[in-house]
Amino acid sequence: MIWNEDFETLPREAIEALQFKRLKQTLDRVYATVPFYQQSFKKAGITPADIRSLSDLQKLPFTLKQDMRDNYPYGLFAVPLDQIVRIHASSGTTGKPTVVGYTKRDIDTWSELMARSFAAAGASHGDVIHNSYGYGLFTGGLGAHYGAERLGASVIPMSGGNTKKQIMIMQDFGSTVITCTPSYSLYLAEALTEEGVDVNDLKLRVGILGAEPWSEAMRTEIEAKLGIKAIDIYGLSEIMGPGVGIECIEAQNGLHIWEDHFIPEIINPETGEVLPHGEKGELVITTITKEGIPMIRYRTRDITRILPEPCICGRTHVRLERLSGRSDDMLIIRGVNVFPSQIESVLVKIKGVEPHYMLIVDREGTLDTLEVQVEVNEQTFSDEIKVLQDLSSMIRKEIKDLLGITCNVRLVEPKTIARSEGKAQRVIDRRPK
């Protein structure tokens, strides 16, 4: 079902006209109210009046996560604090979090876009939505919650953790849709098996999974283990939270980004040059309706491409290809660029191992080393040494064939790799900085 047919199926020219109008309003507003933007535009020798077409957007400077840190906590807000009704923050691995604020209208827009996203994923007011994204400063929990209420569904505010209780609630309350990270959905599948619950006895039919990169092979695995359709949802707190883009259930191929609220661009991360549709690079997003903290040309660090081809679902908003990872998650091992998701796609296809893995990167002398730790399943674990040796050689070879790098494969006992309730931590980089 299309939630907001008028906006979701707008012809291209109408989308672009609306984008331009909203972009102009946003630029005027940030120039007048946010000193950071006024200074950065001045430094680039530009004023909002110089933006005369959508393609002029390229003339504007980028905004970086560092700019948010430098203006911590409220420096990039475009309205006084008394108009802010909600504050979220995303925890960086280092230093202070990045802080975002929402006006009443921003919360309304976010709920609307999450409702649209739920509908695109095949959910409706008749669903019981089991929301296992964390509630708190993280945008996942509350973002999905408000969207599910806007949709008119019955939302269960589970938050993360306490998996046994999640299973009980899921059985007793008849959850039909689950919202959580892909890694948590796998953990849940495993816990269901341990508890002796047959997934066919559950009412679960759709998973709306995101907040971390995952591969197509992982989708196949999740769909099979939980007996659901697994839908990819994208978002980031700096731009809004979950619901910036989502796959439609009809195609399950690329995430529609809501272009009446966001303008996506793809750039070459090294040079900053804008790339044509279809080319892979870093996603840059400009918000055009946000009031609390508008973002102009925000560099997401996420790597994808824009797929402009029409979609079978009838929505006209362009799609983003499944995000392959963040440029700052990309490992450079002996000069080769490696995304953890590429290794995942190899592991998930191999029989005898589970999709639970860790990548340990280290340095011996001047040489980078990569150890892939992956769990074997119970059955393989009890096999002879020879079988295990063959399995690890096979994995080594597959990784070498795909990426051209030699790694060390360590098969570990079932259930020894830490499970995550939120975003999975899959890389330990021990190389000296």
Beta-strand (E) ranges in 118-212?
128-131, 154-156, 177-180, 206-210
For ligand DLL (CB under 6 A), the number of binding residues is 21
User: Phi-psi bin for 309: left (phi > 0), alpha (psi -120 to 50), beta?
Assistant: beta
Q: Does 340 bind ligand DLL (CB under 6 A)?
A: no
Q: Cβ closer to ligand DLL: 90 or 252? A: 90
Omega before 264 within 30 of 0, i.e. cis: no
Closest CA to 93 of 286, 301, 377: 301
Compute the least distance from the CB of residue 354 to ligand DLL, in Å: 21
Compute the least distance from the CB of residue 121 to ligand DLL, in Å: 12
Count of residues making up the chain: 433
Q: Are the C-beta atoms of residues 357 and 374 closer than 8 Å to each other? A: yes
Q: Does 183 bind ligand DLL (CB under 6 A)?
A: no
DSSP 8-class letter at 78: S
Beta-strand (E) ranges in 116-168?
128-131, 154-156
Stretch near ligand DLL under the rule CB under 6 A, chosen from 35-43, 133-141, 191-199, 273-281? 133-141
The three-state secondary structure class of 229 is strand
Among 147, 213, 294, 340, contact with ligand DLL (rule: CB under 6 A): 213
Among 117, 131, 139, 215, contact with ligand DLL (rule: CB under 6 A): 139
- The residue sitting closest to ligand DLL, measured at its beta carbon, is 210
Q: Does 302 bind ligand DLL (CB under 6 A)?
A: yes
Q: Cβ closer to ligand DLL: 135 or 173? A: 135
Side chain identity at residue 331, one-letter code: L
Q: Cβ closer to ligand DLL: 46 or 137? A: 137
Task: Please state at what angle helix 182-194 crosses helix 163-173, rounded to 10 degrees.
Answer: 80
- What stretches of 200-318 show up as alpha helix (H) in DSSP? 216-226
Q: Does 211 bind ligand DLL (CB under 6 A)?
A: yes
**CB-based contacts of 318, cutoff 8 Å, min separation 6:** 256, 257, 259, 264, 277, 306, 307, 308
Q: Cβ closer to ligand DLL: 8 or 212? A: 212
Side chain identity at residue 273, one-letter code: E
Q: Cβ closer to ligand DLL: 320 or 395? A: 320
Stretch near ligand DLL under the rule CB under 6 A, chosen from 231-239, 331-339, 361-369, 370-378? 231-239
Site string (29-68) toward ligand DLL, x via CB under 6 A: ----------------------------------------
Q: Does 326 bind ligand DLL (CB under 6 A)?
A: yes
Compute the least distance from the CB of residue 86 to ligand DLL, in Å: 15
Q: Cβ closer to ligand DLL: 204 or 236? A: 236
Compute the least distance from the CB of residue 161 to ligand DLL, in Å: 16
Element (H, E) at 187: helix 182-194
Cα–Cα distance measured from residue 287 to residue 168, given in angstroms and rounded to the nearest whole number: 40
Stretch near ligand DLL under the rule CB under 6 A, chosen from 35-43, 236-244, 258-266, 363-371? 236-244
Compute the least distance from the CB of residue 103 to ligand DLL, in Å: 19
Cα–Cα distance measured from residue 405 to residue 181, given in angstroms and rounded to the nearest whole number: 29
Compute the least distance from the CB of residue 90 to ligand DLL, in Å: 4
Closest CA to 296 of 13, 48, 7: 48
Cα–Cα distance measured from residue 61 to residue 273, given in angstroms and rounded to the nearest whole number: 12
Q: Cβ closer to ligand DLL: 20 or 234? A: 234
Q: Are the C-beta atoms of residues 358 and 397 closer than 8 Å to each other? A: no
Q: Which residues bind ligand DLL (CB under 6 A)?
A: 90, 133, 138-140, 210-213, 232-237, 241-242, 300, 302, 323, 326
